[in-house]
């Protein structure tokens, strides 16, 4: 499949790859490192239209979402969004997603491209038991782009003709007009940048908005830098840090699981896991030796394998090898020295406090809506 | 663009014969294709290399590639500058960005490598991506 921006990618001489069934830009002419740094220094423009946009509409939408998601959708007022997980009955992750509430009885759930069909089938099965809720797949008619980095706010301010920016915190939403085109904006993103926005635009007008953002000197960024940016920010990627056999607690995502909700799929299993204690934990690993850790490499303590890398790369901002990986609980301590087995040789690394990259503080609103008992 | 005095491989390494010693590097084409090169892992001095077998690795942001030796012999020098930064390889792959120097075991191994013209034709025929 091709997104509405395909011709733009081709004109920019992007190297295209298949991702979740979509033909997407891996990088443009300048390459991953340049695109990564442009996002950190100025503003990066990402085509994220390959992600699934599932809309739930009706008075019963909230009740359904509360049942199938871990986070507390009830805490979302109109104009807010939150990170959430779609759990299975065992507490594993069917997908991770972002839930946006732009309107009263309508929610947009943005899911991973590769899981769009399986999420859809899963929801179809359960939604039959719920009243006054309709489900629509708006992936194709509603294009989605992401504008991230320190200049992103200035750029949007320059081009908005009416409506206000989503302020002041992450997860805030607003509806604006740009050159007469209605754009839904979320102050969200996948780069760790304190300033970053995701835009939903009717597909018939989406190219015009893309062109305006390019004119405003946003740098087009492909999936390669999207991955290095999210990894520096320590954000999970489904299929790597999360899957059907990994629960959100061991992934360090407990604050997005609302145990106070009356009931939801997976609550019983997750409550049991929490009570029993974790057997492994997702940790941040920084290379000491000059080497790049990659997916699947073993994490060792001396001769013993104590874990495995789920995502690893060269980090363009840090200029070092970084990784995320699951480590057996008895070894999962910040500050510990470990080694990473790369082509049958051990390379020195350290378990560090995440994320690898943090600029200022990113205030989050309504991502943590449950009253946590500390 | 590709110097006449070098011989080339289909895996995009080059070799230059200097009185029984072979200087080995990677081609401009390889540098451009790999794009985001970040590290090159070199063999140690004294290591034995074998024609068409890996002697080191080159890492880009996205992937790892093997460096294959165009000839057999013993490593007598490595480009130390490459250990700390890949800049020289990226800027001048056929010159200052050389990678290793090998004492040649069999001079004749150089004979069946590609000439400048053959290599240029070879890369022209590689289908363009994206």
- From the CA of B57, how many Å to the nearest CA of chain A? 10
Which structural domains are found in chain B, ordered by start? 7-106 (2.40.50.100)
Of the pLDDT bands very low, low, confident and very high (cuts 50, 70, 90), residue B127 is: confident
pLDDT at A359: 80
- Nearest by CB to B38, which of A224, A292, A294? A292
Report CB contact under 8 Å: A15, B129: yes
ipTM of this complex: 0.84
For residue A133, give the 3-state DSSP assignment.
Answer: coil
Taking only the tens place, the pLDDT of each residue in A312-345 is 999 999 999 999 999 999 999 999 999 999 999 9
d(CA A315, CA A308): 19
Output the six-digit token pair for A203. Answer: 């597909």
- From the CA of B31, how many Å to the nearest CA of chain A? 12
Of the pLDDT bands very low, low, confident and very high (cuts 50, 70, 90), residue B129 is: low
Q: Which residues contact A117 (CB under 8 A, 6 or more apart)?
A: none
Straight-line distance from the first to the last Cα atom of chain A, in angstroms, rounded to the nearest whole number: 47
Q: Which of A274-283, B21-30, B31-40 is predicted least confidently?
A: B31-40
Of B14, B123, B124, the residue nearest B68 (C-alpha): B14
Taking only the tens place, the pLDDT of each residue in B47-77 is 999 999 999 999 999 889 999 999 999 999 9
Which structural domains are found in chain A, ordered by start? 6-51+140-232 (3.30.1360.120), 53-137 (3.30.70.1400), 279-352 (2.40.30.110)
pLDDT at A252: 97
pLDDT at A367: 47
Q: State chain A's mean pLDDT as an integer.
A: 95
- CA A68 remoteness from chain centre: 18
Residue B46 is given by DSSP the state T
Per the DSSP assignment, residues forming a β-bridge with A313 are A322
Straight-line distance from the first to the last Cα atom of chain B, in angstroms, rounded to the nearest whole number: 23
- Closest-CA residue of chain A to B84: A290
d(CA A347, CA A356): 19
pLDDT at A372: 42
Check pLDDT > 70 for residue A9: yes
Of the pLDDT bands very low, low, confident and very high (cuts 50, 70, 90), residue A88 is: very high
pLDDT at A307: 98
Q: What percentage of chain A reaches a pLDDT higher than 90?
A: 94
pLDDT at B130: 43
Check pLDDT > 90 for residue A144: yes
Of the pLDDT bands very low, low, confident and very high (cuts 50, 70, 90), residue A366 is: very low
Q: What is the mean pLDDT of residues A56-69?
A: 98
Output the six-digit token pair for A186. Answer: 């979320």
Taking only the tens place, the pLDDT of each residue in B96-109 is 999 999 999 999 99
pLDDT at A364: 57
Of the pLDDT bands very low, low, confident and very high (cuts 50, 70, 90), residue A370 is: low
pLDDT at A363: 56
Interface contact B35, partner A, CB < 8 A: yes
Whole-angstrom CA distances from A346 to A301, A325, A343, B43 are: 10, 16, 8, 16
Check pLDDT > 50 for residue A93: yes
Interface of A with B (CB under 8 A): 13-16, 26-27, 31-33, 224, 228, 290-292, 294, 313-314, 316, 343
Of the pLDDT bands very low, low, confident and very high (cuts 50, 70, 90), residue B84 is: confident
Taking only the tens place, the pLDDT of each residue in A190-227 is 999 999 999 999 999 999 999 999 999 999 999 999 99
Let me know: does A337 contact A350? Beta carbons within 8 Å: yes
- Nearest by CB to A32, which of B39, B61, B129? B61
Q: What is the mean pLDDT of residues A21-35?
A: 96
Taking only the tens place, the pLDDT of each residue in A255-297 is 999 999 989 999 999 999 999 999 999 999 999 999 999 999 9
């Amino acid at each position: 499949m091709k997104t509405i921006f395909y011709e733009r990618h081709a004109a920019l001489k992007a190297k295209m790859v298949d991702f979740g069934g979509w033909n997407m830009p891996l990088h443009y002419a300048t390459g991953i490192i340049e695109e990564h740094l442009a996002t950190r220094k100025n503003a990066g423009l990402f085509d994220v239209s390959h992600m699934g946009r599932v809309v739930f509409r009706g008075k019963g939408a909230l009740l359904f979402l509360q049942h199938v998601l871990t986070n507390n959708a009830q805490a979302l007022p109109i104009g807010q969004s939150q990170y959430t997980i779609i759990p299975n009955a065992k507490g594993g992750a069917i997908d991770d997603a972002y839930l946006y509430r732009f309107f009263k009885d309508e929610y947009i759930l943005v899911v991973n491209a590769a899981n769009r069909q399986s999420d859809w089938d899963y929801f179809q099965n359960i939604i039959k038991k719920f009243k006054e809720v309709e489900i629509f797949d708006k992936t194709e008619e509603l294009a989605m782009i992401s504008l991230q980095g320190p200049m992103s706010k200035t750029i949007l301010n320059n081009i908005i003709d009416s409506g206000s920016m989503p302020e002041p915190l992450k997860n805030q939403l607003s509806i604006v007009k740009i050159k007469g085109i209605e754009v839904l904006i979320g102050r969200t993103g996948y780069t760790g940048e304190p300033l970053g926005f995701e835009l939903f635009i009717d597909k018939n007008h989406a190219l015009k908005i893309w062109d305006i953002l390019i004119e405003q000197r946003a740098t087009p960024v492909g999936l390669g830098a999207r991955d290095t940016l999210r990894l520096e920010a320590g954000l999970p990627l489904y299929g790597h840090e999360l899957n059907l056999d990994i629960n959100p607690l061991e992934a360090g995502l407990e604050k997005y699981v609302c145990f106070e909700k009356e009931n939801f799929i997976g609550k019983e299993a997750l409550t049991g896991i929490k009570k029993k204690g974790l057997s492994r934990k997702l940790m941040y690993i920084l290379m000491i030796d000059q080497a790049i850790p990659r997916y699947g490499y073993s994490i060792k303590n001396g001769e013993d394998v104590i874990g495995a890398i789920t995502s690893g790369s060269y980090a363009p901002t840090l200029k070092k090898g970084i990784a995320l990986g699951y480590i057996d609980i008895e070894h999962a301590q910040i500050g510990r020295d470990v080694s990473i087995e790369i082509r049958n040789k051990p390379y020195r690394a350290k378990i560090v406090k995440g994320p690898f990259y943090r600029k200022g503080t990113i205030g989050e609103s309504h991502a943590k809506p449950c009253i946590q008992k500390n | 663009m590709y110097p006449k005095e070098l011989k080339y491989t289909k895996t995009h390494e080059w070799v230059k014969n200097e009185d029984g010693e072979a200087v080995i590097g990677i081609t401009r084409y390889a540098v451009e294709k790999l794009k985001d090169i970040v590290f090159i892992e070199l063999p140690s001095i004294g290591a034995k290399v074998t024609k068409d077998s890996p002697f080191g690795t080159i890492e880009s942001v996205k992937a790892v590639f093997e460096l294959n030796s165009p000839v057999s012999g013993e490593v007598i020098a490595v480009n130390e500058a490459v250990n700390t930064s890949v800049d020289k390889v990226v800027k001048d792959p056929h010159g200052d960005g050389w990678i290793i120097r090998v004492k040649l075991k069999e001079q004749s191994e150089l004979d069946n490598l590609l000439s400048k013209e053959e290599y240029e034709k070879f890369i022209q025929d590689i289908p363009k991506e994206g």
